[in-house]
Structure 1
Amino acid sequence: MTLALAFRRQRHQEVATLAATHDANERRVTELYTAAAEQLGSDKAAVRLAGLYALERLAQDNPDHRQTIVNVICAYLRMPYTPPTPVDPEKERKAALREARRRYQAARAFGGSAVAAATPPATAEADPEGERQVRLTAQRILGDHLRDERPVQGRDTIPAGPRFWAGMRLDLTGATLIDFDFGYGHPADATFSGVTFSGDAWFVKATFSRHAWFGGVTFSGDALFDMATFSGGASFREVTFSRDALFDEAVARAPNAHHVWPVGWHLEPLPDGTGRLVRDEDTSPEKTASKQSKSAREAPER
């Protein structure tokens, strides 16, 4: 009897200690998360970058908090943003001369007091290149940790790498993404509806476990979906391709799911019950006439 009571007391103390340790760890994670998230609101690009790196480390070390941190990064990328236009050296030189002349005239008129005031404080809006680097870093975090380079057929037996964050859901609705590299990406759900892809977009060998929504997307550069795998529904309704759109050897594992494929592509059934994306045949009058002419030339004489 005494032994049983001692065992119960010891067990109770162990459970209480574990609970206290867990609570302390959760409080620590919450504090770190709050501090890092607040850094994303700074007007200094370096501070925002530090916040992203802190969130990345926090997610890597605390799997239970990964989805929350992915949500924060996606929310940052969804904020309105216009990429800086390419710099024209001649225009930049002339603008610098105009600014120098304006400062000189202001200094003469006000005894130099206007010179310091002519320099605006550094903000996200006043530092477009800094904000670009912050966004590229946010994209890189998502791309790196959702990259799964295991063969699709071997994912049930081959363990994932330690940096892969499995089962993440992405919501980048309406975001502006710059040279977005999601090659080998493996999210659970992915919503890119209304996204503007500035530059090329790489989805080569990406695997979408459930839905993949690309409705209303604008691709300003090449859109590369070669060898991508769509395991659930996929929609490319009203997509705008400004340059090449490549879906070579892309596969749909659920051909009967809800799909809206890009104009010019359709699903071709495969013997294993899946479907492969192939280009539509060109049925324009010019192409048809060319085919008929070629057939006539190649037809044997009778």
Structure 2
Amino acid sequence: MAVSLRRKREAPRGRYTPNLWPVWIVAPVALIAAGALGWVIYHYAYDHFAQSAADQEPPKPVNINDPLKATVTALTLIGAVLAGLYAYRKQLLAEGDAHRADASQLADRYTTAAEQLGHDQAAVRLAGVYALARLADDWAEQRQVCIDVLCAYLRMPYEPDPTAPEHKAGEQEVRQTIIRVIRDHLQEPDVPTAWCEYNFDFTGAVFDGGSFSTSHFRGIVTFAGAEFSGGTVDFAGAEFSGGTVVFHGARFSGGTVTFDGAEFSGGTVDFHGARFSDGTVSFDSAKFSGGTVDFFGAEFSGGTVDFPGATFSGTSFDWGPVPVPAGA
């Protein structure tokens, strides 16, 4: 018997069902405890009333109803407290069940959205993008994970040329939708569903268009090794504050990448080893205040990189052994 009870009490932690003693054990123990407590209270009350009666002139006998009333009152108060504790415990258990149900539902939504993103049909992948974005809004604890999945999709191999054998129909629309969803969540930093404080990893991603304009980036944003091969990638009016923006080894081989009116305040902007071979990269009227901008080892073999109207205050620039672009 003792071994069986001990095994029940040593049940693995993390189980959902409360590990309680059997009723046939708890009930007798509770009755014995209540009786013992009532006996102690009664004798304490009797001694108190007996002492009070003896101190009177002339001494009076103890009214037996007085200690009985005091005992019943004390036991009732204790019972009320225990009942309140029991109700509180039930509430905690109910809230725990609700929390686990919510977590299970959110996990199911995550699984479904991830499966949709891997579907062969572009329309289903689009549904997965929106489903994952809604899940990120509802699931703050795992919001970074949802963001990481969207970024990972953009990092997957992508052939933008529609005539190439590897090109997938509708893939550009899916990728543009991901960029648009991310941008929409970076517009208002103070709303509860904003993603501004989170990290974004676009390492090695291929961009042939998309807008991050007027976005607020406050975490680590990585475009290391990314390829900007066509279209327009728009960072106009974006704010990069305090975090790290990495374009280390990025390749600008076509199209236009504009940082017009963008603000870089604090942190580090790293174009170390970036290659500018075609297209246009514009920092027109961009503002650099504080922090470090690193172009060390960058290669300028074609295209245009210019800084007309850009302002610099308290910013450390490292151009390395390369010619300084126009306007810098």
TM superposition score category, shorter chain reference: 0.5 to 0.7
Match of 2:249 among 206, 209, 216: 216
Q: Secondary structure at the match of 2:236?
A: coil
C-alpha spacing 1:16/1:173, structure 2 compared with 1 (3 Å): same
C-alpha spacing 1:41/1:166, structure 2 compared with 1 (3 Å): same
State the distance in 2 between where 1:222 and 1:166 align: 24
- Counterpart amino acid of 1:160? D
Q: Secondary structure at the match of 2:261?
A: coil
Match of 2:284 among 244, 248, 253: 248
State the distance in 2 between where 1:75 and 1:15 align: 38
C-alpha spacing 1:268/1:84, structure 2 compared with 1 (3 Å): closer
Q: Secondary structure at the match of 1:222?
A: strand
How many residues are aligned here?
A: 232
Match of 1:49 among 99, 121, 126: 126
CA displacement at 1:282 relative to structure 2: 6.2
CA displacement at 1:24 relative to structure 2: 0.6
C-alpha spacing 1:172/1:11, structure 2 compared with 1 (3 Å): same
The answer (yes or no) to whether the contact 1:202–1:225 under 8 Å persists in 2 is: yes
C-alpha spacing 1:235/1:43, structure 2 compared with 1 (3 Å): same
Counterpart of 1:234? 269
Counterpart of 2:169? 129
The answer (yes or no) to whether the contact 2:159–2:167 under 8 Å persists in 1 is: no
CA displacement at 1:208 relative to structure 2: 2.2
Counterpart of 2:96? 19
The answer (yes or no) to whether the contact 1:232–1:252 under 8 Å persists in 2 is: no
Counterpart of 1:115? none
CA displacement at 1:52 relative to structure 2: 1.2
State the distance in 2 between where 1:233 and 1:66 align: 25
State the distance in 2 between where 1:238 and 1:173 align: 14
State the distance in 2 between where 1:33 and 1:281 align: 46
Q: Secondary structure at the match of 2:209?
A: strand
State the distance in 1 between where 2:123 and 2:326 align: 51
Q: Can you list the C-alpha shifts for 1:28-56, whole angstroms capped at 9, x where unaligned?
A: 00011001101111111111111112112
Counterpart of 2:67? none
State the distance in 1 between where 2:183 and 2:248 align: 21
- Counterpart amino acid of 1:239? A
State the distance in 2 between where 1:237 and 1:275 align: 14
The answer (yes or no) to whether the contact 1:251–1:276 under 8 Å persists in 2 is: no
CA displacement at 1:86 relative to structure 2: 7.4
CA displacement at 1:251 relative to structure 2: 2.9
TM-score by structure 1 length? 0.67
Is 1:183 the equivalent of 2:217?
A: no
The answer (yes or no) to whether the contact 1:269–1:275 under 8 Å persists in 2 is: no
Structure of greater Rg: 2
Structure 2, unaligned runs of 5 or more = 1-77
Counterpart of 2:204? 174
State the distance in 1 between where 2:140 and 2:112 align: 19
State the distance in 1 between where 2:80 and 2:288 align: 62
State the distance in 2 between where 1:229 and 1:276 align: 15
State the distance in 1 between where 2:317 and 2:287 align: 4
State the distance in 2 between where 1:133 and 1:167 align: 26
State the distance in 2 between where 1:131 and 1:27 align: 31
State the distance in 2 between where 1:126 and 1:254 align: 44
- Counterpart amino acid of 2:186? L
C-alpha spacing 1:234/1:70, structure 2 compared with 1 (3 Å): same
CA displacement at 1:132 relative to structure 2: 1.5
C-alpha spacing 1:13/1:252, structure 2 compared with 1 (3 Å): farther
Match of 1:81 among 155, 158, 166: 158
State the distance in 2 between where 1:268 and 1:127 align: 41
Q: Can you list the C-alpha shifts for 1:261-298, whole angstroms capped at 9, x where unaligned?
A: 7777799753xx56799x95869xxxxxxxxxxxxxxx
State the distance in 2 between where 1:269 and 1:136 align: 32
- Counterpart amino acid of 1:193? A
State the distance in 2 between where 1:282 and 1:48 align: 42
- Root mean square deviation, CA, Å: 3.1
After TM superposition, the structure 1 = structure 2 runs for residues 1-302 of structure 1, keeping only pairs within 5 Å, are 1-85=78-162, 128-148=168-188, 160-161=190-191, 164-187=194-217, 188-197=219-228, 198-209=230-241, 210-219=243-252, 220-230=254-264, 231-241=266-276, 242-255=278-291, 257=292, 259-260=294-295, 270=313, 273=314
Whose RCO is larger (CA < 8 A, sep 6+)?
1
